[in-house]
């Protein structure tokens, strides 16, 4: 059994569909931050965008297929089973009820998602529930990124930033950043590629692509 001080990564998204960009982010952040596990949490009904194009059962199955064989990766269905919009703060509160209030949690976000954090529901409470780990591409200009930041976020960065080694010392409240391999892959591009009858092979795992073809997902005749 893992040490109770070892952080657990939380990685949410619609995963519509999951692709190598998602998987590589989780792999590199898990390794760099010393995460005991990375929990993929597919959204049921995300509040910041429209309903996912594909139903929850298919998106869940694609995540299961994509992460199979990686001992660090897990799937968590709590947002899909919730009868309401999937707010991250509620998901973290639910995780705290299961894992306790002392286990370090680490919410994995891309740099763009972090910049939009002040628009999230009860976003300030996130720091009471988890650390936040920001994944950015190599060579990302930190000064320009910080300049583009809302003042509210700049204050959080200034007071909460620290090294990854500090994550295990507390349940939450720190912000860490880490450079990851730049993979310019998006679920939107994959959906558009499939809709137009072209192949998205090598953008996502073959097992996921097989599931998409078997169930004719994202094709012109698929609702």
Taking residues 175-200, report their average pLDDT: 95
Residue 55 reports pLDDT greater than 70: yes
Residue 4 reports pLDDT greater than 60: yes
78 inside domain: yes
189 inside domain: no
pLDDT of residue 222: 55
pLDDT digits (tens, 9 = 90+) for 112-130: 899 999 999 999 999 999 9
pLDDT band at 84 (very low <50, low <70, confident <90, very high): confident
2 inside domain: no
DSSP secondary structure code for residue 87 in this structure = -
Cis peptide leading into 17, omega within 30 of 0? yes
- Token pair of 217 as six digits: 């997902």
The CATH number that applies at residue 88 is 3.40.50.620
Q: Look at the block and give the residue holding tokens 């003042």.
A: 151
pLDDT of residue 66: 98
Cα–Cα distances in angstroms (integers) from residue 11 to residues 41, 89, 94, 154, in the given order? 6, 13, 15, 23
89 inside domain: yes
pLDDT of residue 223: 45
pLDDT of residue 65: 98
The domain tally of the chain equals: 1
187 contacts 19 by C-beta, under 8 angstroms: yes
Check residues 167 and 147 and name the one with the higher pLDDT. 167
Q: What is the domain extent for residue 64?
A: 8-183
Residue 13: enclosing H or E segment and its boundaries?
strand 8-13
Residue 220 reports pLDDT greater than 50: yes
pLDDT of residue 77: 96
Q: Look at the block and give the residue holding tokens 């012109």.
A: 220
155 inside domain: yes
pLDDT digits (tens, 9 = 90+) for 131-152: 999 998 776 666 667 777 889 9
220 inside domain: no
Distance CA 55, CA 44 (A): 9
- Token pair of 129 as six digits: 């529930």
21 inside domain: yes
pLDDT of residue 144: 65
pLDDT of residue 199: 96
58 inside domain: yes
pLDDT band at 50 (very low <50, low <70, confident <90, very high): low
């Amino acid at each position: 059994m893992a040490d109770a001080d070892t952080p657990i990564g939380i990685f949410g998204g619609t995963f519509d569909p999951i692709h190598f960009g998602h998987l590589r982010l989780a792999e590199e952040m898990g390794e760099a931050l010393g995460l005991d596990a990375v929990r993929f949490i597919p959204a049921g009904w995300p509040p910041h965008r429209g309903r996912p194009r594909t139903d929850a059962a298919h998106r869940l199955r694609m995540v299961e297929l994509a992460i199979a064989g990686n001992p660090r990766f897990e799937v968590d269905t709590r947002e899909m089973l919730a009868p309401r919009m999937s707010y991250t703060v509620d998901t973290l509160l639910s995780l705290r009820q299961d894992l306790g209030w002392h286990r370090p949690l680490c919410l994995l976000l891309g740099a763009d998602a972090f910049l939009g954090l002040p628009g999230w529901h009860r976003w300030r409470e996130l720091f009471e529930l988890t650390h936040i780990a920001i994944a950015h591409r190599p060579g990302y200009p930190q000064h320009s990124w910080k300049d583009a930041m809302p003042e509210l976020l700049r204050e959080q960065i200034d007071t909460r930033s620290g090294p990854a080694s500090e994550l295990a010392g507390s349940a939450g409240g720190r912000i860490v950043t880490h450079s990851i391999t730049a993979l310019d892959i998006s679920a939107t591009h994959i959906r558009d590629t499939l809709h137009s009858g072209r192949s998205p092979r090598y953008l996502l795992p073959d097992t996921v692509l097989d599931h998409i073809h078997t169930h004719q997902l994202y094709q012109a005749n698929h609702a």
